[in-house]
Amino acid sequence: MTLSIRNQLAGTITAITPGEVMATVKLRLSGGQDLTAAITLEAVEDLGLAEGTAVKALVKATEISLATAPIEGLSIRNQLPGTITGIATGGAMASVKIAVDGGALTAAITRDATTELALAPGAPVVALVKATEVALTTA
């Protein structure tokens, strides 16, 4: 299946915590980072997810925020450190490419944010992704 979602990170499920309607699914990415997805319990069952299942985590570029350093005291579960490999800017928005251990991400942020954060190729950043914005597919 071909998708428009460019951010696809391979990983393996390490834990599933079911709730009444939703479940949190923790994965270990191929680069060694931990990632949490919050998906419906129905999706967990339909996909046959269990500890040890190989999956891909999918995140739209518009759902990735960037910080110049790790942030404490934040409800966002996923903080992936990386290095900027490229920036393409338009009139209002920018596409920021980031190398992370085991893969690559693209974040769509405002052009103003790239300026205010002084983002440039080679600079370290942390990609922030809410668990509810991570979709899973079986690999």
pLDDT value of residue 3: 85
Residue-level pLDDT at 2? 82
31 pLDDT higher than 90: yes
Tokens of 97: 């490419």
pLDDT for 101 equals: 95
Extract the tokens encoding 109: 């942020």
Closest by CA position to 92, among listed 117, 110, 108: 110
Structure tokens at 105: 């991400």
Average pLDDT score over residue span 58-64? 98
Length of the chain in terms of residues written: 139
Q: What is the pTM of this model?
A: 0.94
- CA–CA distance, 3 with 23 (Å, rounded to integer): 24
Confidence of residue 62 (pLDDT cuts 50, 70, 90): very high
User: Residue 62 phi/psi, 5° resolution?
Assistant: -75, -10
In the predicted structure, residue 32 carries a pLDDT above the cut 80: yes
Average pLDDT (19-26) is 97
C-alpha triplet 33, 18, 26: angle, nearest 5°: 5
